[in-house]
Amino acid sequence: MPELPEVEVVRRGLLPLVGAEVEAVEVLDERALRRHQPGAADFEARLTGTVLGEPARRGKFLWVPLARRGQPEQDALLVHLGMSGQLLLDDEWRPHRHERVRIALDGRILVFADQRTFGSLALDPLTGPAAIPSQVAHIALDPLDPAFVPPAVVRRMRARRTELKRALLDQSLVSGIGNIYADEALWAARLHPRQPTATMSAQAARRVLEESRHVMERALAEGGTSFDALYVNVNGQSGYFSRSLTAYGRDGKPCLRCGRALVRETFTNRSSHFCPRCQRLR
């Protein structure tokens, strides 16, 4: 599933579209509009004729503010990539595998493709002084947000009766961190994924948040993490951070710090990867 760095790569890829006007919209599969309750006809009619503003992101949510000529921005095109969603930008129309929605913009074509159909598009009103889509208002700030305040998150994290990795994946506590980057941050911070948050020191909690930011900054510099063709940027290119992973997917391989074989444990419907020597449960 695309996590914060992958969504940020896509956001940056959409920057050249600022100021472009939507000429036509075609919904090919209404499953792509699961977050847009009024349906396909409403989506097509309301999006056509709007002008795209500067794309924004919070955690794994991406949105593009919309306005009509001479009017302020009131709505946004909200995007959640789900597990395999892709936004692909072309200079001309061409067929794409698993395309669900097609948007024509000033001579360019923006395609939303999604193999597993867990991703979605929606038109959502912008709310509050920060002009955030209503469906994103409950999402916490992410570690790359300039307004992110680590001490406040540390206090909330230590007050919860949960395990550390669950806390890192809780989008109401801190957003944007998914399974891959949680494992990477925990390895860097030398903390066990099942460490109870109530038993952690404030220093340890701050350390894992800092490592979360660092690992996502490195991943962003390498275009994100791609294991297959499900995640690509708007030009269809893969990211290369998978070559730099230290924990995720490396079970059975030696720890790059101590040499002990990394282990893999079942975690909900996913897995955790960690070093049993460096990341002891305390």
**Which bin fits 255, alpha (ψ -120 to 50), beta or left (φ > 0)?**
beta
Q: Over range 66-87, report the average pLDDT.
A: 90
What is residue 83's predicted lDDT score, i.e. its pLDDT?
87
Contact 58, 132 (CB under 8 A): yes
Q: Over range 253-274, report the average pLDDT.
A: 95
Q: Over range 231-250, report the average pLDDT.
A: 79
Task: Kindly state the DSSP code that residue 139 receives in the 8-state scheme.
Answer: S
Which of 5-14, 37-46, 206-215 bottoms out in mean pLDDT, i.e. has the lowest?
5-14
Cα distances from 79 to residues 30, 92, 111, 222, in angstroms, run 14, 22, 12, 22
Q: Over range 151-169, report the average pLDDT.
A: 97
Averaged confidence pLDDT in the chain:
92
The pLDDT confidence band at residue 79, using thresholds 50, 70 and 90, is very high
What is residue 246's predicted lDDT score, i.e. its pLDDT?
95
What is residue 244's predicted lDDT score, i.e. its pLDDT?
86
Catalytic choice (12, 218, 270, 277): 270
Does 60 qualify as catalytic in the annotation?
yes
Catalytic choice (2, 5, 143, 193): 2
Tell me the C-alpha distance between 101 and 196, whole Å: 43
Q: Over range 96-104, report the average pLDDT.
A: 94
Q: What is the DSSP annotation of 51-82?
A: EE---EEETTEEEEEEE-TTS---EEEEEE-T
3-state helix, strand, coil in the chain (%, to 5): 30, 25, 45
- In order of their start, the domains of the chain are 4-136 (3.20.190.10), 150-274 (1.10.8.50)
What is residue 239's predicted lDDT score, i.e. its pLDDT?
73
Catalytic choice (58, 60, 102, 165): 60
Does 2 qualify as catalytic in the annotation?
yes
**pTM across the whole model:** 0.90
Tell me the C-alpha distance between 77 and 79, whole Å: 7
What is residue 146's predicted lDDT score, i.e. its pLDDT?
93
pLDDT in tens, 161-176: 999 999 999 999 999 9
Catalytic choice (3, 8, 184, 211): 3
Is the pLDDT at 221 greater than 60? The verdict is yes
Closest CA to 64 of 11, 136, 25: 11
Is the pLDDT at 227 greater than 60? The verdict is no
